[in-house]
C-alpha cells in the first residue's frame, strides 16, 4: 500500500511540475501569421503553364508525378497524371494543393510542425503533413496552389517549386 501511495504522490508531483511548464502555444503574436491577401483566381492558362513546367522537370529527372493546381479557394483548376504515376497519389496531389491554398502556406509547414511536436495540427480538417504543396502568387497575392505527389516528399517539393516558378510573379 505504501508503494502505491508513493507512486501516486510521485505522479502528482511530476504532474504538477509538468503543468507549470509554459505552453509555447500560449504566445500571442503581434501580427497574424500567414496573412497573405487573396488575388484573382489562377487562370486555366497559367495553371496549365505550371503543370507543363512541372511535367518538364519530372521528365528531366525521370520521375512520374501527379500534379494538381487549385484556385485560392482550393477548387481544382487543372490536373495531370503522368503515365505510370502512382494512382494513390492522384488524391494526395489534390489534397496538398487544397491544403496549401486554404491554409495559405506550404504543406511543408504542417510536416515540420508535426515533426516538432505540434500534434494538434493533425486534428485540423484538411491538413496534410507532407511537403509538396506550394502557393501560387501574383504581386504578393495568393491566386492558387500546386500540389505534386508520386515520389518522396522532397521529390514532390522539387517538382512543385519548378512548376510554381513558371507562374509566380
- Cα–Cα dist 149/157, whole Å: 9
At residue 27, the 3 state secondary structure works out as: coil
In the chain, domain spans: 44-165
The mean pLDDT value of the chain amounts to 91
pLDDT band at 17 (very low <50, low <70, confident <90, very high): low
* Closest by Cα among 70, 52, 64, 49 to 134: 70
What tens digit of pLDDT does each residue of 82-97 get? Answer: 999 999 999 999 999 9
Least confident of 15-19, 58-62, 104-108: 15-19
CATH code for the domain defined by 44-165: 3.30.450.150
| Residues 111 and 128: beta-carbon distance below 8 Å | no
The total number of residues written for the chain in this structure: 169
* Tally of CB atoms within 10 A around 15: 10
DSSP state of 114: H
Task: Name residue 63's beta-bridge partners.
Answer: none
pTM confidence score: 0.83
At 13, the pLDDT band (50, 70, 90 cuts) reads: low
Whole-number pLDDT of residue 93: 98
What distance in Å separates the CA atoms of residue 130 and residue 132, rounded to the nearest whole number? Answer: 7
Please tell me the distance from the alpha carbon of residue 166 to that of residue 163, in angstroms, as a whole number: 6
Q: Answer whether residue 49 shows pLDDT above 60.
A: yes
Q: Are 68 and 95 in contact (CB under 8 A)?
A: no
Amino acid at each position: 500500500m505504501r508503494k502505491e501511495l508513493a507512486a501516486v504522490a510521485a505522479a502528482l508531483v511530476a504532474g504538477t511540475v509538468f503543468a507549470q511548464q509554459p505552453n509555447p502555444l500560449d504566445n500571442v503574436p503581434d501580427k497574424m501569421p500567414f496573412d497573405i491577401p487573396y488575388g484573382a483566381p489562377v487562370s486555366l492558362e497559367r495553371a496549365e503553364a505550371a503543370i507543363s513546367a512541372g511535367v518538364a522537370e519530372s521528365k528531366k529527372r525521370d520521375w512520374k508525378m501527379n500534379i494538381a493546381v487549385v484556385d485560392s479557394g482550393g477548387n481544382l483548376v487543372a490536373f495531370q497524371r503522368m503515365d505510370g504515376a502512382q494512382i494513390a497519389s492522384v488524391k494526395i496531389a489534390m489534397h496538398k494543393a487544397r491544403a496549401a491554398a486554404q491554409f495559405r502556406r506550404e504543406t511543408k509547414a504542417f510536416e515540420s510542425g508535426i515533426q516538432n511536436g505540434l500534434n494538434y495540427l493533425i486534428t485540423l480538417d484538411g491538413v496534410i503533413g507532407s511537403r509538396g504543396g506550394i502557393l501560387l502568387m501574383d504581386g504578393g497575392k495568393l491566386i492558387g496552389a500546386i500540389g505534386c505527389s508520386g515520389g518522396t516528399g522532397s521529390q514532390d517539393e522539387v517538382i512543385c517549386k519548378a512548376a510554381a516558378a513558371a507562374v509566380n510573379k
